[in-house]
Each structure stands twice: as structure tokens, then as C-alpha cells.
């Protein structure tokens, strides 16, 4: 999703965005052009339209601009350069989407989202693609469908002696064809909680198991190194595991990664016990020229800092972004034509950043474990079935 006018349509919190929209509505055309330096593109288009934007504030929605960088967006369709609602309407807290690139000039990256996200979530140069795990029912369809080719999933499971279950009762819809797996009896009760998309990994597997497995593979350092040139020019390809143990082991590690990247303490309890401290005295403002990294400290100004941040975590990239630096730099004071003093970090901001550092440190550990798991089953390419 691309706003084409971030300076107006995007902000760090709802109160700030509403205030900005209010100020915009009070400007005439020339004042708006000057205030936003809007010479062309979608920004100039919106200003020339002279649309009153504050009455549209009901469309303000959560938005993830970069990995771990949560903001709010005025998501009115006619104001956005690209909106992607046909994709994002299938994504919510219970139905994640996979984000990756078709091509990239930077390091390959993959991420998980549960809300609208930016068109350069993991890449500062190239657009990302977003793949929902589930598709909401179309007209006349009573069941959601996994966004997974059924024949491919069945083919992956066959040599593993695992049956693929998609959660749709056999014969529920003729349009889906006759060969559906029978849904478990406990999944059929109307009052039961929705099925989580997972199997037992001894006899069955589901769409969420596949998602977790894919997420682990895409975070394998060995995979990224072996296929580095291919990943710069095309969508990643997913190998078929040679054994059920390989699949189950990688799916378990991928599941942990997903919980970390969604910053969900209920799925990643370590987020509740972050060892990263916020220290120093004075205002918690991210000053101009910061952040700086000094011996395990991430300085946000001369007297406040985050402590005990591993250097490797500070330098860790998700795709083209050095996350720990980028998150703070986007909130730092700036000069130029539109100077600003920098954001004073709230308690929620501080907790969020501490959790991000913890999540990235754990990501580094789990990525190493993924390669260890693959090596345990034969390494690259031995742990995987060679394509016919």
C-alpha cells in the first residue's frame, strides 16, 4: 500500500494525524503547496482536489510502514496512490500475510503482517508483495479458503506421509471440487473456536503449518546464501522437505519467529522479560543527529539511552533496513525546510523498542537454529527433495 503523500496521510499516532489533517483543511491551495512542498505526484493531486480530509478521519487505520514500525494511515481509497484493499481485506490479527520481494537490489528479507503495510516494508528500493494466508469467503461461499495451491500442498505432504487438511468439510461446496479432506468433528461445531489451521504433524498438517515452515526456510542463512542471486531476480522458491522430522522441526522454529515478529508476548514470552533497559536522566527526546551506538548503548540524546543492546542486533537488517537504527532515526529531530525537535518517546514507545531489540536478538538465535536443524537432516540440498 502506497499513500503517495506520507507527509499528510501518515503519522506516528492518531492524535498527531488528526491535528495535521485539521491544519491541512484550514489551508488554502497555495498554503498547502508551500507547507508540504507539493510540486507533483499524489500530493499535488490531493491538494489540487482540495478535498476536506478531516471528515474522513473515520478511515484512520493501523499501518506498518517498515518492519516493526507501526503508525496510522488515513486509508481513504481515493486519496491513496495504491490501496491494495483486495489483498489487505484478507489480513487481520488471526489471518497473517507473508511479505517478500519479487526482486531486490538489497539483502533479501521476509516478514509477517496482520494489518496494512507499506509498499517498501523490507526494501528501500523495491516494492514488496503481500500474500494472505487465508482468503475470505466469496459470495456464496460459507468457508474461508487457504491461499495455497491444494495440489502443491498435497504433493509436499505425500512423501512425508502427512495428509493436508484445509479446514473445509468434504462436499461443502461443489465449486471447490470433490476431493476435500474430511474436517475433524470438533471443528464442525458452530460454537467452537475457529480452527487454527494446524495439524498434529504426525498424520496431518494444515495451512498454518505450511506458513510456519515457509517462514523458517525464508529465514535460513544457508538458503539466503545459496540462492542469493536468484532471490535478487524472482520470488523465492520453497523446497520440499525430505522427511517429516525436517518439516516439523522447521515449522516449530518458524512458528516462534512469527510470534516474535508480531511482537506477541503470548506467543513469545521472552518479550515480557526483555533485558534491555532504558537509562539516563532527562527528556526522552530523540535528538537531531541520533541515534548513536556506543559500547552496547543506543543513545537517543546526550543523556538518555537503551542499555545492553548487542552490537550484532544493532547492525541486524530486515531486508534493506537496519531496524534498530531506522526506527529511532525516523523519530529524530531534523533541520531543513521543515525542522522538527524529534519525538519524545512515550512509555509505550520505550517498551516497544525494548521488545524490538529482544525480538531481533532472538531472531538471530533462531536463524542459526534453523540452519542447525537443516544440517541435522542432511544440509543443503540433502535435507530437501530434489525437483523432478
pLDDT tens, position by position, 339-363:
889 999 999 999 999 999 999 999 9
Nearest to 111 by CA among 65, 60, 166, 62: 65
Tell me what pLDDT residue 298 has.
Answer: 98
Pairwise CA distance, residues 172 & 180, whole Å: 9
For 306, the grid coordinates are 537503551
Whether 107 maps to a domain, the answer reads: no
Give the chain's end-to-end CA distance (angstroms, integer): 38
If asked whether residues 256 and 283 sit together in one domain, one would say no
Global pTM value = 0.91
If asked whether residues 225 and 297 sit together in one domain, one would say no
If asked whether residues 210 and 156 sit together in one domain, one would say yes
Tell me what pLDDT residue 382 has.
Answer: 93
Residues of the chain with pLDDT under 70: 170-193, 386-388
- Are 64 and 70 a contacting pair, CB within 8 Å? yes
Whether 327 maps to a domain, the answer reads: yes
Tell me what pLDDT residue 167 has.
Answer: 84
Tell me what pLDDT residue 140 has.
Answer: 74
If asked whether residues 275 and 360 sit together in one domain, one would say yes
Whether 88 maps to a domain, the answer reads: no
Whether 279 maps to a domain, the answer reads: yes
For 235, the grid coordinates are 520470488
Whether 139 maps to a domain, the answer reads: no
Whether 95 maps to a domain, the answer reads: no
Tell me what pLDDT residue 386 has.
Answer: 65
Answer with the one of 238, 260, 282 that is the final residue of a domain: 260
Neighbours of 1 (CB within 10 A): 22
The domain tally of the chain equals: 3
Answer with the one of 79, 111, 127 that is the final residue of a domain: 79
Whether 227 maps to a domain, the answer reads: yes
Nearest to 291 by CA among 352, 333, 256, 338: 333
If asked whether residues 32 and 13 sit together in one domain, one would say yes
Q: Give me the domain span that covers residue 171.
A: 148-260
Name 99's Cβ contacts closer than 8 Å, sequence gap at least 6: 110, 111, 112, 113, 117, 121, 122, 128, 129, 130, 131
Tell me what pLDDT residue 157 has.
Answer: 96
Whether 317 maps to a domain, the answer reads: yes
For 8, the grid coordinates are 499528510
If asked whether residues 253 and 288 sit together in one domain, one would say no
If asked whether residues 298 and 318 sit together in one domain, one would say yes
Answer with the one of 79, 100, 132 that is the final residue of a domain: 79
If asked whether residues 245 and 277 sit together in one domain, one would say no
Strands of the chain, DSSP E: 10-11, 60-66, 69-74, 97-101, 111-113, 116-117, 128-132, 134-135, 145-146, 163-164, 204-205, 240-241, 277-280, 292-294, 297-299, 304-307, 317-318, 321-322, 384-385
If asked whether residues 172 and 219 sit together in one domain, one would say yes
If asked whether residues 155 and 256 sit together in one domain, one would say yes
Tell me what pLDDT residue 174 has.
Answer: 45
Place of cell 548503548: 297
Helix 244-261 with 347-376: angle, nearest 10 deg = 170
Pairwise CA distance, residues 344 & 148, whole Å: 44
If asked whether residues 351 and 308 sit together in one domain, one would say yes
- Are 315 and 366 a contacting pair, CB within 8 Å? no
For 118, the grid coordinates are 507499506
Phi-psi region of 378 (alpha: psi -120 to 50; beta: other; left: phi over 0): left
If asked whether residues 236 and 339 sit together in one domain, one would say no
How far out from the chain centre does Cα 267 lie?
Answer: 16
Amino acid at each position: 500500500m502506497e499513500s503517495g503523500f506520507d507527509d499528510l496521510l501518515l503519522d506516528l499516532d492518531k492524535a498527531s494525524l488528526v491535528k495535521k489533517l485539521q491544519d491541512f483543511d484550514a489551508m488554502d491551495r497555495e498554503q498547502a503547496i508551500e507547507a508540504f512542498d507539493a510540486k507533483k505526484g499524489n500530493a499535488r493531486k490531493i491538494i489540487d482536489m482540495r478535498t476536506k480530509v478531516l471528515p474522513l478521519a473515520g478511515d484512520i487505520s493501523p499501518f506498518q510502514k517498515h518492519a516493526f514500525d507501526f503508525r496510522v494511515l488515513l486509508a481513504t481509497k481515493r486519496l491513496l496512490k495504491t490501496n491494495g484493499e483486495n489483498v489487505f481485506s484478507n489480513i487481520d490479527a488471526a489471518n497473517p500475510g507473508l511479505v517478500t520481494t519479487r526482486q531486490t537490489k538489497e539483502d533479501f528479507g521476509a516478514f509477517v503482517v496482520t494489518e496494512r503495510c507499506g509498499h517498501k516494508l523490507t526494501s528501500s528500493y523495491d516494492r514488496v508483495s503481500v500474500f494472505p494466508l487465508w482468503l475470505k469467503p466469496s459470495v456464496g461461499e460459507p468457508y474461508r479458503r487457504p491461499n495455497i495451491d491444494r495440489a502443491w500442498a498435497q504433493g509436499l505432504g505425500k512423501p512425508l506421509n502427512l495428509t493436508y487438511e484445509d479446514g473445509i468439510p468434504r462436499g461443502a461446496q461443489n465449486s471447490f471440487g470433490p476431493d476435500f479432506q474430511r474436517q475433524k468433528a470438533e471443528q464442525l461445531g458452530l460454537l467452537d473456536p475457529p480452527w487454527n489451521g494446524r495439524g498434529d504433524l504426525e498424520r496431518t498438517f494444515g495451512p498454518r503449518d505450511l506458513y510456519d515452515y515457509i517462514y523458517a526456510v525464508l529465514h535460513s542463512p544457508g538458503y539466503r546464501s545459496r540462492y542469493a542471486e536468484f532471490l535478487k531476480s524472482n520470488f523465492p522458491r520453497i523446497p520440499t522437505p525430505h522427511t517429516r522430522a525436517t518439516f516439523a522441526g522447521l515449522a516449530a522454529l518458524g512458528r516462534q519467529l512469527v510470534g516474535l515478529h508480531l511482537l506477541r508476548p503470548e506467543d513469545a514470552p521472552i518479550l515480557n522479560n526483555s533485558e534491555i533497559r532504558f537509562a539516563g536522566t532527562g527528556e526522552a527526546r530523540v535528538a537531531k543527529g541520533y541515534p548513536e551506538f556506543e559500547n552496547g548503548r543506543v543513545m537517543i540524546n546526550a543523556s538518555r539511552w537503551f542499555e545492553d543492546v548487542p552490537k550484532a542486533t544493532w547492525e541486524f537488517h530486515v531486508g534493506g533496513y537496519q531496524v534498530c537504527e531506522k526506527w529511532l532515526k525516523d523519530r529524530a529531530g531534523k533541520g531543513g525546510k521543515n525542522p522538527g525537535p524529534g519525538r519524545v518517546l512515550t512509555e509505550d514507545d520505550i517498551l516497544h523498542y525494548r521488545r524490538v531489540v529482544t525480538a531481533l536478538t532472538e531472531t538471530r538465535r533462531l536463524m542459526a537454529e534453523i540452519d542447525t536443524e537443516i544440517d541435522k537432516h542432511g544440509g543443503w540440498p540433502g535435507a530437501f527433495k530434489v525437483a523432478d
